[in-house]
C-alpha cells in the first residue's frame, strides 16, 4: 500500500490563472497610495502580514469594487479534475495561499469547487474592511500564512507532500515537500536554492504525473534557514479547523 498523497496548491497564479491579489492591489489599492509611502514600505523589509495591513488600512477598497474586480479572474479548470481524482484515490488536496479568502471563496464557488481545505488570510467587509491572519507564525516576520508549517504538518501526519506553486511566497514550503512542481518565479527560486523540481504550465501536467504512479523519495526534506523556529514547534498556531470549514 503506497503512502497517501497531499497536494498543497498555491492559489494566486497557480489555481487562479491570474494573481488575483495583485489584481486587487494594482487596481484598487496602489493607485490611491502616495508613491513615497509605497517606496518606503517596499524598502522597509516588512513581511507580507505587515505590508497587507499597511496597504489595506490606508486604502481599503469598497466591497462593490472588490467583488466586481475579482470576478474578472479565472481558475485552471484542471484543478477540479485533480481534486476529483485525488478524492477517488483517497488522497488529499489543500489550498495554501498567502492571499485572502474574500476572493478565493467566491472564485471557487463559481467553479463549483467545494469541500477543499483553504489555508489563507481573512478579509471581511463589516462594512469596514477587516483583515485577520489565522495561520501566521508568531515567531516569524516574513509570511502572513506559514506555508512551511502547513507542509510540515501534512508530512508529520504521514503524507507524501506535493507542493505546486509559482512565486516568492512558495520559497519556504518547497524545502519541506517531497515533490515540487514550479512555474514562473518559483523555477528560479528552486534553482537558486538547489531544490529539485518539475516544471508545469497547468494542472494538466500535475494530473499526468499523478497518473503515472511514480513517486520519488529522493528529495531531502529540510527547513529553510528562516523557518528554523518550526523544527520543534507543535504547529498549534495553525487554525486547521478554520481551514477545513472555509468552503
**pLDDT tens per residue across span 75-107:** 999 999 999 999 999 999 999 999 999 999 999
Residue 140 lies in a domain: yes
Confidence of residue 180 (pLDDT cuts 50, 70, 90): very high
CB atoms within 10 A of CB 200: 21
Print the domain residue range for 24: 20-70
Asked if pLDDT for residue 20 goes beyond 70, the answer is yes
Query: Do residues 48 and 148 both lie within one domain?
Result: no
Query: Do residues 113 and 82 both lie within one domain?
Result: yes
Residue 127 lies in a domain: no
Which residue from 183, 179, 151, 143 is spatially nearest to 167, judged by alpha carbons? 183
Mean pLDDT of the chain: 94
Query: Do residues 28 and 80 both lie within one domain?
Result: no
Asked if pLDDT for residue 217 goes beyond 80, the answer is no
Report the share of the chain in percent with pLDDT over 70.
98
Distance CA 207, CA 83 (A): 10
Query: Do residues 61 and 155 both lie within one domain?
Result: no
HSE-CB of 179 using CA atoms within 13 angstroms: 21
Does a cis peptide bond (omega within 30 degrees of 0) precede residue 127?
yes
Residue 84 lies in a domain: yes
Average pLDDT over every residue of 146-153: 97
Give the E-state strand segments of the chain in sequence order: 5-9, 92-100, 118-125, 129-132, 160-165, 179-182, 198-199
Query: Do residues 50 and 98 both lie within one domain?
Result: no
Distance CA 158, CA 70 (A): 36
Asked if pLDDT for residue 245 goes beyond 80, the answer is no
Query: Do residues 49 and 166 both lie within one domain?
Result: no
Q: What is the DSSP string of 175-241?
A: GT-SEEEE-THHHHHHHHHT---EE-SSHHHHHHHHHHT-----SPP---GGGGGGTT---TTS-HH
CA atoms 19, 122, 186, 208: torsion sign: negative
Asked if pLDDT for residue 246 goes beyond 80, the answer is no
Q: What is the pLDDT of residue 247?
A: 54
Q: What is the pLDDT of residue 233?
A: 81
Query: Do residues 99 and 140 both lie within one domain?
Result: yes
Residue 125 lies in a domain: no
pTM of the model: 0.95
Average pLDDT over every residue of 206-234: 87
Q: What is the pLDDT of residue 141?
A: 87
Total number of domains constituting the chain: 2
Strand partners, 9: 95, 164
Residue 175 lies in a domain: yes
Report the share of the chain in percent with pLDDT over 90.
87
Strand partners, 148: none
Confidence of residue 243 (pLDDT cuts 50, 70, 90): very high
Q: What is the CATH number of the domain that holds 156?
A: 3.40.50.1000
Share of the chain residues as helix, strand and coil, in percent rounded to the nearest 5:
45, 15, 40
Amino acid at each position: 500500500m503506497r503512502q497517501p498523497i497531499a497536494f498543497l496548491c498555491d492559489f494566486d497564479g497557480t489555481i487562479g490563472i491570474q494573481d488575483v491579489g495583485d489584481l486587487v492591489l494594482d487596481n484598487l489599492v496602489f493607485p490611491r497610495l502616495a508613491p513615497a509611502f509605497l517606496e518606503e514600505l517596499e524598502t522597509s523589509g516588512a513581511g507580507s502580514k505587515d505590508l497587507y495591513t499597511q496597504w489595506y488600512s490606508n486604502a481599503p477598497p469598497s466591497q462593490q469594487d472588490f467583488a466586481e474586480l475579482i470576478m474578472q479572474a479565472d481558475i485552471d479548470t484542471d484543478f477540479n479534475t485533480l481534486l476529483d481524482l485525488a478524492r477517488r484515490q483517497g488522497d488529499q488536496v489543500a489550498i495554501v495561499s498567502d492571499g485572502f479568502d474574500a476572493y478565493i471563496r467566491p472564485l471557487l464557488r463559481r467553479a463549483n469547487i467545494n469541500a477543499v481545505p483553504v489555508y489563507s488570510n481573512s478579509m471581511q467587509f463589516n462594512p469596514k474592511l477587516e483583515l485577520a491572519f489565522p495561520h501566521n507564525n508568531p515567531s516569524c516576520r516574513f509570511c502572513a500564512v506559514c506555508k512551511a508549517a502547513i507542509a510540515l504538518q501534512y508530512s508529520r501526519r504521514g503524507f507524501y507532500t506535493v507542493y505546486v506553486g509559482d512565486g516568492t511566497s512558495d520559497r519556504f514550503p518547497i524545502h519541506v515537500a517531497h515533490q515540487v512542481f514550479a512555474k514562473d518565479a518559483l523555477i528560479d527560486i528552486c534553482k537558486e536554492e538547489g531544490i529539485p523540481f518539475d516544471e508545469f504550465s497547468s494542472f494538466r501536467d500535475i494530473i499526468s504525473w499523478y497518473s503515472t504512479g511514480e513517486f520519488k523519495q529522493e528529495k531531502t526534506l529540510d527547513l529553510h534557514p528562516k523557518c528554523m523556529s518550526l523544527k520543534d514547534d507543535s504547529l498549534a498556531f495553525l487554525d486547521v479547523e478554520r481551514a477545513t470549514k472555509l468552503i
